[in-house]
Structures are given as structure tokens and as C-alpha cells.
A and B are shown apart, each in its own frame.
Chain A
Amino acid sequence: MGDTLETLKSDLFAAPFCEGLEDTHLEVLLACAHEERMPKGRFLFHEGAAADYFYIIVSGRVGLELNCPNRGGLSIQTCDAGDVVGSSWLIPPCIWRFDARVLEECRLVSMDAAVLREHCKADPTFGYAMVERIAQVKAERLDAARLQLLDLYGNPEEGRHVARTRID
């Protein structure tokens, strides 16, 4: 049992999400953390369900997908070791916006977000630290989404997305 706790602790604390957190905050997170393994193909969560937990990937790969009738699950982004899967738990209405599907068998730290939310409300310093980290995750995804939207590797002769002033 001790071994498992030690592994969980080192997996959790090694994640970029925990970088720079105070010890007391780390203890709070550890108390809400569980080690999980998920086989390929399993869904971590589905769009529309209550976001009462989230994951930190220790190893493996998870795809964030939107399901589209007749096209199946459209993958928006993949998450790999060190990445946080799920940020809706901190942002009302705390409902998942995507499906998360395991693409390669995963070892995960799952976090009890319902409890963490209560901690956030009770301790604004802790709450701020969580918001800061989730904002970081959101900002990186937004940057990435913007770059994807630009279709940088597309043929510039086709579909020019950016408004331009043409003269001559």
C-alpha cells in the first residue's frame, strides 16, 4: 500500500500542473488523487456529463473528440504524458465539452474535482493556484487552436483566411 502511495505522490508531484505549488496545496491535491489504468478505447468522460473529476496523464495518450453523426469521433487534440485532461471541472457549469478517449493504454492520476472545488471556495489562495493552472492549460490549448485554425501548412494559394488589403 505504501508503495502505491509513494508512486502516486511522485507521479502527481512530477506533473507540470503541480510545479510551483505550496506544500500544503500539494497535500490537498494528494488527498484527492487516485492512481488509475485505462485500456485503449475506453472513454475517460463524455460530452455533457458532470465534470466532477479530471486526469493527469502519467503515460499513454488520450484524444479529445467531438462526436459527429456519420463522421464518428472527430479528434481535436491529443494529450500525452504530463498533460492535464479535463479543465471543465473548474469552469461553471462544470459540464464536459468533449469526449475523452484513450488512444494508447494510460496510467493516470485521477483527481476528485468535486472535492477540489470545495477546497477552492474555502481557501481562495488554493483556489487561485488552481485557476492559474487551469488558465495555463486553457491558454496553451487556445494558442494551439488558433494555429490550427490558421491552417499554416495549407496551400496559401487556396482559401486565404486572413483579411487583406489588396492594392495594385
Chain B
Amino acid sequence: MFILEPDGFEKILDSLREKGYRITGPKLRDGAIVLDTIDSAASLPRGVRDHQGPGRYRLEETGDDSWFSYTLGSDSWKKLFFHPIKPLFKTTRDGGLLQIEPEPPREGLKALIGVRPCELQALAIQDKVLAEGEFVDRHYVASRKGTFIVAVNCTVPGGTCFCVSMGTGPVADRGYDISLTELGSNGATRFVARAGSPHGEELLAAASSGKAGESDLQLEAELLEAAAGNMGRSLDVEGLAAALAESGDHPRWEEVAERCQACTNCTMACPTCYCHTVEDSTDLTGSVADRTRVWDSCFTADHSYLHGGSVRETRGARYRQWLTHKLSSWHDQFGGSGCTGCGRCITWCPVGIDITEEAQAVRGTARG
């Protein structure tokens, strides 16, 4: 365990940049936290915290210079690896004959700064789906390779957070190169830092101001324990997957459908949702066609389209598909939950539908 001071933090960024990493981290833009390219630690938001609730997101100043008092914005790291729009191949036609030119997968060193523990789990879940099965998404694999991750443990959970219930936070236990816990503010910000890889160890050894002391670790433990007790939401996952698997005819699905706009916000904001479709477009000469992979959502009518109509025509059925996939069938398909407890789907739902509330309601009176 190391102690990292602000200038050490900057040193790590410098060293990553020197090695050719493109650095992405949180930024303040249009009144929200977004993920974007950052030049230096100075680009990071300071002294802000968020107020999140169902259908609500607001930033306010903390009055101090704390580095990581906010939690998550609407976009997640998945956009860096599972690109929202990805060309797959180009087809040219000469007479009736076709020629296909695949889009080469692009590798590139990426450093992610300020990845929350729930987000580490989200990346692990997408790795499992897109990169660890019998078939893999080559573009995902290529862009995910060579990723350096600086995780930040959460000391100030948000109003829609429930990572403790999902077992994904507030402390990162794997999947990072360096993890940080912010200690103190008011001009005295410093971090307890841990290495999760040899590369992380190397950078920390060069940038830290020494080993963390007993009192630092004591303070860190207290902060993290307090954070764990301060979740905005909770979800009882004991037996939940099995109960939801039997919930097909529950009237709650129709009730939630009365509010759900099928707007797809939850699926776009969700860091694990991986549904995608392909689009084919032809140029004006009719001789070149592009196949593009784009994010899709199970809330659209087209998602389940079978010649003649959609399988899931009602919003209730689509919401059920989404929620039961996240919390139930994901276990069967990928050996774990598809939910990280990040709370984005609650915050960014325009009508404030709360996954923890819906799951609980369906489970509370589950019928076969």
C-alpha cells in the first residue's frame, strides 16, 4: 500500500502518456460528469458531488477541493471498447460479384482514470459476454487489450447506488492496475494506493510518496465502511434470480408498462447492456455497401421482430425481458448477474422507474 499525493497522481498520468496511452477520465460538462479524454489531473472535476434519484441528476459544489466526491454520470466506459457505432466491413459490387473488405480491429493503449468498483465489474461482465465465449467480438477484444485502469474506491455513494447489494463495491478488489482511496480534502487530498499489476506497481513505486501508514489505512477503512453503509438503494438478491425466472405472468409488468416510455435510456446508460444490431447501407452509386454494428435495445419493437411482427409487442414484456435478463437469465447465460448496482438505469429513466423497487415488487408476490 502506497500513499499518493496529487503531484504523484500527475506523475502517473505523465508516465502513461509518455508510454503512448490515451487517457480517459471524468470531466465536468454541461452540468454533468462525462467520460472524455483528459490532459492532466487538472482536467478532473474538483469539489463537486452529485444528487441522484429516480429520474433525477444534479451536481452541486461541495465547497472543498475533493477529487472524487461524485459518482457516475450517464455514460460508462463501455463506449470505449464496445463502440456505439462500429463499421464491420465494406462490400463492393462489380456486376453481380461481391468483394468484402473487413474493417481491421484497432488496438491502442488506453488508460482509464477514476474507474469505480461497480464499473470494474461492468467491464468484467462485458469481457465475459463479448470476449470470453465460443465466439468473440474481434473489435471489442482488440480495443480492450492494453487497457490500463486506475480505479477509485467510493467514499461518497450516490443516491441510486446499490453496489453493496450486488457485491461489486464500494471497494475494488480486482480488475485494476492501480486502485485509489481518497483521504481528506481541504487542500490535503491524498490517496491510499494499491497496485493490481506489475505495471501498476512499477508506476506507483516511482510516483508515490511512500508506504501508507497504520493511521492512513485506519482512516481508509473507516471511510469505506461508512460508504458501504450509506448506499442510496438496496436489493435483496438472495433467491432473486430463481424468483424472477418464475415471474412471467406477474401483473407488475403491466403496471410498470403504464409508466415505461420504451425510450431505451436504461439500456444505453447500462454499463453491461450489450445488445447490438447491424445496419446495411449502400452508397448512391449502388456499388458500395457498408455493414455497421450499432447499439440496440430490447425496448424497441424491432429487437424481437420476426417476419410478421414483434415477439414482445407490449412495453410490459420488454421491461420484463430487460429486468429478468439483468437479474435472472444472465446467471444462466454467463454465470453471474448482469447488474452491477451502478444505479444509472434509475437515475436516467425519464419517469424514474427503479429496478430495485420493481424487482422487489415482483419477487415479493411472485407467482408461477
Contacts and interface: CB of A to CB of B under 8 A. Distances in A.
A156 interface: yes
Chain A interface size range: under 10
A157 B307 contact: yes
Given A167-B301, A168-B300, A157 B314 contact: no
A155 B306 CA distance: 12
A71 interface: no
Interface of B: 262, 300-301, 306-309, 313-315
Contacts of B313: 164-167
Contacts of A165: 313-314
A168 B262 contact: yes
Tell me the dominant secondary structure on chain A's binding face. loop
Contact of B307 (A156, A164, A166, A168): A156
A12 to B, nearest CB: 45
Interface in A98-156: 155-156
A160 interface: yes
B143 to A, nearest CB: 32
Contacts of A167: 262, 301, 313-315
A84 B243 CA distance: 47
A72 to B, nearest CB: 33
Interface centre among B262, B300, B306, B313 (most CB of A within 10 A): B313
Nearest to A168: B301
Contacts of B306: 156
Nearest to A158: B308
A40 to B, nearest CB: 40
Contacts of B301: 166-168
Nearest to B300: A168
A35 B134 CA distance: 65
Given A164-B309, A166-B301, 16 more contacts: A155-B308, A156-B306, A156-B307, A156-B308, A156-B309, A157-B307, A160-B309, A164-B313, A166-B313, A167-B262, A167-B301, A167-B313, A167-B314, A168-B262, A168-B300, A168-B301
Which 9 interchain pairs have the tightest Cβ spacing? A156-B308, A168-B301, A156-B307, A157-B308, A165-B313, A164-B313, A168-B262, A165-B314, A157-B307
A156 B309 CA distance: 8
Contacts of B309: 156, 160, 164
Interface centre among A160, A166, A167 (most CB of B within 10 A): A167
Contacts of A164: 309, 313
Contacts of A168: 262, 300-301
Nearest to B308: A156
Given A167-B262, A167-B301, A168-B301, A160 B308 contact: yes
23 contacts: A155-B308, A156-B306, A156-B307, A156-B308, A156-B309, A157-B307, A157-B308, A160-B308, A160-B309, A164-B309, A164-B313, A165-B313, A165-B314, A166-B301, A166-B313, A167-B262, A167-B301, A167-B313, A167-B314, A167-B315, A168-B262, A168-B300, A168-B301
A157 B315 CA distance: 22
A6 to B, nearest CB: 53
B308 to A, nearest CB: 3
A75 B101 CA distance: 56
Interface string A44-82: 000000000000000000000000000000000000000
Nearest to A166: B313
